[in-house]
Structure 1
């Protein structure tokens, strides 16, 4: 399963990045997250975060790529599936562009896509819209 969303944000890229990269604050911006706890200090390559989302099992996400001010990718592994979440902020003519991706791979990914695909898409969309709204109203 692969899902992508891109939204234009009428706010400076720095503001969008600051909201997006403050992962422990994301639950205040989107109903798709109940809690996020950084386990290894600030967000950076190798950092881990425990994420709790409604109607999903708790998961530990590990940051696999990090470019300060621009992007981070993290992944969570469970038996038979790896879930990768990408977060990218780019400058745009009237502010910023926010691009989020969610990819599930592994032998159980097709089954999980059928069971949870609709919810996963909804959660990624909620996150994008929550960051957009917060950035534009700050």
Structure 2
């Protein structure tokens, strides 16, 4: 399964990046997260975080790529499926910031997981993008 959502945010890329990389604050920005505990600080390649989401098993995510002020990718493995999440921040075409969030699931059980949890997963990624937008934009 591959899912991607892009959102334009009326805020500086630095502002958006600082919110995005503060993963422990994500539950304050979206109801799709119950808790995020950063197990290794700071967030960087090799860091791990335990993520709890409503209706989903807790998962430990490991950062596999990290470029300050631009993007990070993390991966979670469970029996039969590997889930990879991408987070990219770039200057928007007419000012502000464009954020792209991606989620990919691979492995022998990925089709079954997509069937069982695909709609919830897509809804959660969209909620995360919208929560970031709300948190970043001035009131």
Q: Does 1:28 align with 2:28?
A: yes
Distance (whole Å) between structure 2 residues aligned to residue 137 and residue 108 of structure 1: 42
Distance (whole Å) between structure 1 residues aligned to residue 15 and residue 70 of structure 2: 11
Distance (whole Å) between structure 2 residues aligned to residue 44 and residue 30 of structure 1: 22
Distance (whole Å) between structure 2 residues aligned to residue 59 and residue 109 of structure 1: 16
Corresponding residue for residue 77 of structure 2:
77
How far the C-alpha of 1:17 sits from its partner, in A, is: 0.4
SS of the residue corresponding to residue 128 of structure 1 reads helix
Corresponding residue for residue 67 of structure 2:
67
How far the C-alpha of 1:40 sits from its partner, in A, is: 1.1
SS of the residue corresponding to residue 83 of structure 2 reads strand
Structure 1 segments unaligned to the other structure (5+ residues):
none
SS of the residue corresponding to residue 8 of structure 2 reads strand
Corresponding residue for residue 97 of structure 2:
96
Distance (whole Å) between structure 2 residues aligned to residue 34 and residue 75 of structure 1: 19
Corresponding residue for residue 131 of structure 2:
130
Q: TM-score, normalised by structure 2?
A: 0.98
Distance (whole Å) between structure 2 residues aligned to residue 19 and residue 98 of structure 1: 12
Q: TM-score, normalised by structure 1?
A: 0.98
Corresponding residue for residue 58 of structure 2:
58
1:99-122 Cα deviation digits (max 9, x unpaired): 000000000000000000000000
Q: Does 1:6 align with 2:3?
A: no
5 Å-filtered alignment, 1:100-115, equals 100-115=101-116
How far the C-alpha of 1:41 sits from its partner, in A, is: 1.3
Runs ≥4 in structure 1, deviation > 6 angstroms? Answer: none
CA-based RMSD of the aligned residues comes to 0.7
Structure 2 segments unaligned to the other structure (5+ residues):
none
Distance (whole Å) between structure 2 residues aligned to residue 94 and residue 123 of structure 1: 27
Q: Does 1:119 align with 2:137?
A: no
